[in-house]
Amino acid sequence: MTAQYPDGTQESREINENYPAEQAFNDFLSRFTVTGDKQEFCGLYGYTSFNAVRYFEHIEIKDCMQEKNDAPDILYILYKYVIAFDHFNNTMTLIELVENHEPDTLDELERVIRNHNFATYDFRPVGETFSTLTDDEHKANIRQGIAHCLRGDVFQIVLSRRFVQRYEGDDFKLYRALRSINPSPYLFYFDFGGFRIFGSSPETHCRIEGRHAYIDPIAGTTKRTGNADTDAQNANYLKNDPKENAEHVMLVDLARNDLSRNCHDVKMDFYKDMQYYSHVIHLVSRVSGTLDDEADPVKTFIDTFPAGTLSGAPKVRAMQLISELEPHNRGAYGGCIGFIGLDGSLNQAITIRTFVSRNNELWFQAGGGIVAKSDEDYELQEVNNKLGALRHAIQMAERL
């Protein structure tokens, strides 16, 4: 772990049992005290990759030499400037973090915002989209997942598949296309210099407001056609399908168990709601709890990571099998991305429906929950359904 501070100094320390990840986060956060208005926007913005589970649990994560990706497993930044958009009131608030007696430079920031003389570039996909797994290879993985369920190793395992698309130009055009065709609760574009992570995630990994914590597990997906009658039939099938419901109950129970490690009064706020997105229909519930008096928000977040909907149940064994079966480590996919506030608040989305852009390559990934009664062809198609919005965005971005 390396912490860098505004004065240019930095500290490095190994994450281990004597210095756990939550202590590293809290030590860094404790260095900063904020006064003034808009404190709710002040904190760390960034991501926790799926690989970061190696710092939270005793699980070996596969390292692939072909990844061409030296992005950190965890990266959060305390930004000097924050621009907060209120889309309901069409307002924009400029926020700057300054040290005591340091003059603010918000006037300069406003001039930059009002300057309309900036370069724009097109986006163009190059070649065809390809996967690091063929259809047959992914179906073979699904069969192995089913076998592990039948043997009782796991009740469910989420197996994913990565796709790659080369491109030229400005990937921000792709983000604009994605957010226009697939508006979601979490829309994000993070530029970390050598790589970017952007997407439209529908799923809350963990949200903490005051002393209340929330998880919104999505378990159950069907295709949306655009025809109201057909979509209603698909939603009704999803709501009544025994397999989908069994998976949903299992993962809701897992979310309840995760929150119960640091919370009391854990309950369901809503159960098996149908939520409609541009290309899919999801079955969604909300689990909430009140943090125990001694509970720490960062530890609560870590104890829910990764989401059961992206790993399986029991979670530890499912993650071990994922590392064995998938040909590469997941990187950002299946982790989370968002905000850790200096005031103890927290809001993290699961990193799904997301692109990772690096060296003119886009990586995007999707998976499905495998149980004993899964059908390999159905599960293969579910991955395609979940990637529908991302593929559509690639086509649309070229026309912007």
Which tens digits make up the pLDDT trace of 43-89?
A: 999 999 999 998 998 887 766 544 555 689 999 999 999 999 888 88
pLDDT at position 69: 58
Tell me, yes or no, whether 190 lies in a domain. Answer: yes
Query: How many distinct structural domains can be found in the chain?
Result: 1
Residue 291 banded pLDDT, cuts 50, 70, 90: very high
Place of tokens 């621009």: 83
The answer, yes or no, to whether the previous bond of 314 is cis (omega within 30 of 0) is yes
Nearest to 283, CA basis, from 311, 322, 315, 244: 244
Section 307-326 average pLDDT: 92
Tell me, yes or no, whether 106 lies in a domain. Answer: no
Tell me, yes or no, whether 302 lies in a domain. Answer: yes
Q: Which long-range contacts (CB under 8 A, 24 or more apart) does 140-144 make?
A: 141/325, 141/326, 142/370, 142/374, 142/376, 142/379, 142/380, 143/376, 144/325
Tell me, yes or no, whether 136 lies in a domain. Answer: yes
Which tens digits make up the pLDDT trace of 228-246?
A: 889 899 888 888 888 888 8
Alpha-carbon distance of 174 to 168, in angstroms, equals: 11
Backbone torsions φ then ψ of 138, nearest 5 degrees: -70, -40
Tell me, yes or no, whether 130 lies in a domain. Answer: yes
Residue 29 banded pLDDT, cuts 50, 70, 90: very high
Tell me, yes or no, whether 208 lies in a domain. Answer: yes
Alpha-carbon distance of 174 to 287, in angstroms, equals: 33
CA angle 133, 367, 286 (to 5 degrees): 170
Beta bridge partners of 199: 188, 354
The range of the structural domain enclosing residue 233 comes to 24-79+119-397
CA dihedral 19, 25, 28, 32 (to 10 degrees): -140
**DSSP letter string, 105-152:** -HHHHHHHHH--------EEEEEEEEESS-HHHHHHHHHHHHHHHHHT
First to last CA, the chain: 41
CATH code at 142? 3.60.120.10
| Contact predicate 349/338, CB 8 Å | yes
Neighbour count for residue 203 (Cβ, 10 Å): 24
Tell me, yes or no, whether 5 lies in a domain. Answer: no
Residues annotated as catalytic (active site), given as ranges: 282, 309, 333, 353, 369
Give the C-alpha distances (Å, rounded to integers) separating 331 from 52, 157, 218, 225, 227.
Answer: 9, 18, 21, 31, 36
| Contact predicate 334/305, CB 8 Å | no
Nearest to 384, CA basis, from 224, 273, 217, 216: 224
The tokens describing 247, both together, are: 């998976």
| Residue 296 scores a pLDDT above 70 | yes
Which tens digits make up the pLDDT trace of 169-186?
A: 999 999 999 999 988 889
